Amino acid sequence: MKRLARAFAEAAFTLWLLATLCFALLHAAPGGPFDVEKAAPPEVQAALARQYRLDQSLPSQYIHWLGDLAHGDLGPSFQYPDYRVSELIVLALPVTALCGGIALALAIGLGVPLGLLAAQRRGRGLDRVLMGLSGLGLAVPKFVVAPLLVLVFAVALHWLPGGGWDRTSLWTLLRSAALPAIALSLPNLAYCARIARAGFIEALGSDYVRAARARGYSQARIVLVHALGPALLPVLAWLGPALINIVSGSAVVEQVFGIPGMGRYFVQGALNRDYTLVLGVVLVVGALIVLINAATDGLRAWIDPRLREE
């Protein structure tokens, strides 16, 4: 119980520190959310500043924002006056979650088998080809991969839509998410394959695997029963950074494909000085990262008895 309370307190402190730094950096940047209203009469500008508390001192704005946050209110959006920030996040989070979930599933579902295949062919031609391709996947940035996918699958082959978000049916939704998810998954797929390869090489060369081979067990049983669990421990440790990579990459990918997700709202909010929108996205993403890290730590402890003893 004490351990759970300490973990909750650390997570709350991390989110508060993240939000405070973001609040300070946003207000320190030049410009304001209503700079485009320069042609408006002074009384209109004053009314807008008063409505959004921008006429108050920075410490007063910060205290009011923390008070609203304590009541679960992320505040109004400056650039979307008809929406609260929480409403925009409710609309955008499923979009990012769907693309990110598919991307992570592709990275793990393909990366682990490819890593196993490379580990079993260590030092041979197939291993060199797979690791060379993974290095290429890590080197090419997402803002290059995304337009190339559009050119190949949307413009040349006409297989998938090159942008937009069609919620008409499940099929059109999956088609809309396909290319963004592939663009997000490729660097993570390459990294996962490398990590899985290293994990399987270590596991397949361990004493307990050699003992299993001496007992005459089949290769499939050795891999699935004896080597898979220990080999997946580095992959589970990588899930937290992989999530951060997917969330940060979503800003670029969603801009390229015109998808109304969290990353796109974050970029637009930062460009338009929409303080409350940016802070809301940062808090939600930070909370998700904390939860994912806690879940991966739990999975690692469940697989590795040494971590449970610690």
Task: Tell me the average pLDDT across 7-20.
Answer: 78
Host domain of residue 168: 92-260
Q: Give 76's strand partners.
A: 84
pLDDT at residue 89 is higher than 70? yes
Q: Collapsing DSSP states into helix, strand and coil, what is residue 111?
A: helix
User: Can you read off the two tokens belonging to residue 281?
Assistant: 């996205």
CA 38 to chain centre: 37
Q: Specify whether the CB–CB gap between 49 and 10 falls below 8 A.
A: no
The confidence score (pLDDT) of residue 166 equals 81
The CATH number of the domain holding residue 154 is 1.10.3720.10
pLDDT band at 35 (very low <50, low <70, confident <90, very high): low
Which letter does DSSP use for residue 206 in this model? Answer: S
- The reply to whether 148 falls in a domain is yes
- The reply to whether 41 falls in a domain is no
By C-alpha distance, which of 102, 193, 183 is closest to 144? Answer: 183
DSSP character string of 287-308: HHHHHHHHHHHHHHHHH-HHHH
- The reply to whether 292 falls in a domain is no
The confidence score (pLDDT) of residue 306 equals 59
Q: Within 13 Å of residue 208, how many CA atoms lie on the same side as its CB?
A: 11
d(CA 221, CA 12): 44
pLDDT one-digit tens code per residue, 132-172:
888 888 788 887 888 888 888 888 888 888 888 888 888 88
d(CA 79, CA 267): 13
- Looking at the chain, the whole-number percentage of residues with pLDDT higher than 90 is 0
CA 51 to chain centre: 34
Q: Specify whether the CB–CB gap between 112 and 189 falls below 8 A.
A: no
pLDDT one-digit tens code per residue, 247-269:
777 888 888 888 888 888 888 88
Residues 6+ apart with CB under 8 A from 117: 126, 130
- The reply to whether 154 falls in a domain is yes
Residues in the chain, total: 310
- The reply to whether 182 falls in a domain is yes
- The reply to whether 96 falls in a domain is yes
Q: Collapsing DSSP states into helix, strand and coil, what is residue 76?
A: strand
Residues 6+ apart with CB under 8 A from 250: 96, 99, 100, 184, 261, 262, 263
How many separate domains does the chain show?
1
Task: Tell me the average pLDDT across 8-32.
Answer: 77
- The reply to whether 114 falls in a domain is yes
269 against 178, higher pLDDT: 178
User: Can you read off the two tokens belonging to residue 274?
Assistant: 């929409």
Phi–psi pair at 76, nearest 5 degrees: -85, 155
The confidence score (pLDDT) of residue 268 equals 81
Task: Give me the amino acid identity at 170.
Answer: L
User: Can you read off the two tokens belonging to residue 88?
Assistant: 């925009």
- The reply to whether 247 falls in a domain is yes
By C-alpha distance, which of 244, 134, 250 is closest to 192? Answer: 134
Q: Give 84's strand partners.
A: 76
The confidence score (pLDDT) of residue 4 equals 62
Task: Tell me the average pLDDT across 211-224.
Answer: 76
